[in-house]
Amino acid sequence: MSLEGILAVHKPAGMTSHDVVAKTRRILKMKRIGHTGTLDPEVTGVLPLCLGRATRVVEYMQELPKEYEATLRLGMATDTEDLTGNVTAQVDRVNVTPEEAEKALKTFLGTISQVPPMYSAVKVDGKRLYELAREGKTVERKSREVTIYEIEMKGHEWHGPFLDISFRALCSKGTYIRTLCVDIGKALGLPATMVQLKRTMSAGISDSECLTLAEIERLMDEGRLQEHLIKVDHAIRHLPAHTVSDEKAAAALQGQRLSGRAVTPEVRSPGCIRLYDSAGAFLGIFEKQEESGAIAPVKVFLPGT
């Protein structure tokens, strides 16, 4: 039986997300692997990989909040918004206290507007921004709304004339932490850039659950990797769980629509659910249709296939 589930990888610095996927494909000797959101090469931390049929739930996992631990440097700015770029501005001395910096962090709680950085994968007129940036071009970008659910200062340290601020942020999909660092600097009237970034949680998976590439290779050689995978339905546990009656379970697996009365507890509002049979086997993702009230299949998972 081929591997199936979510493989939580700790991405090391110096590798792209694509590099990690490619290496994992070689280790596992399988092609059907997808990730739930890229990380820049120098960023470390949680990179969930979906193996086999688990690739069908990538879109549901991507919508979940992500948590990061970051360090920003007050007093210096770069063209990439991190230390990989060229310095574009700096001050002789930062005259900001850690208390003032912490107060500025708190002002970013809630829904905020961000302009995607030039060094990002966002497309403008069919071309990725980082491609334009490498050509020395700067183009106008539309701002987008993102949400910062939690943000807290973790520490501070003077780095010569500059002040490094470490913080933790829980945020929505699409948030650029590099840009957040720059905007925090602007709120304090200073140039700023990101020094370090680690993703500590993605799709409900924490860094403590992750395996290194070396550990994955060892477990694969020992034939024990499957027991370390997160089950598909557990990865989408933010969707409410419901059970279908035994007489209708076969119909559900055949992709038929179900009466709302066949499902318990009652599905009260439209949206996706996880559906199980009476023995607890995961049958797939279903959705209550607003007009008819029927429970319709979205993605069926035949047990044992």
Averaged over successive runs of 10 residues, the pLDDT of the chain (305 residues) comes to 90 93 96 88 94 94 96 96 93 94 97 80 65 66 90 96 97 94 97 97 95 97 96 95 93 93 91 94 94 92 74
Identify whether the C-beta of residue 168 lies closer than 8 Å to the C-beta of residue 150: yes
Active-site residue, selected from the candidate residues 19, 40, 92, 125: 40
pTM across the whole model: 0.90
Give the Å distances, CA to CA, from 285 to 228, 271, 277, 297: 23, 10, 12, 6
Which pairing describes strands 44-51 and 192-202: parallel, antiparallel, or unpaired? parallel
Smallest CA-to-CA distance from 112 within 162, 4, 187, 214 is with 187
Three-state DSSP state, 215: helix
Instruction: Identify the sign of the CA torsion 49, 180, 191, 138.
Output: positive
pLDDT of residue 292: 85
Is 40 a residue of the active site?
yes
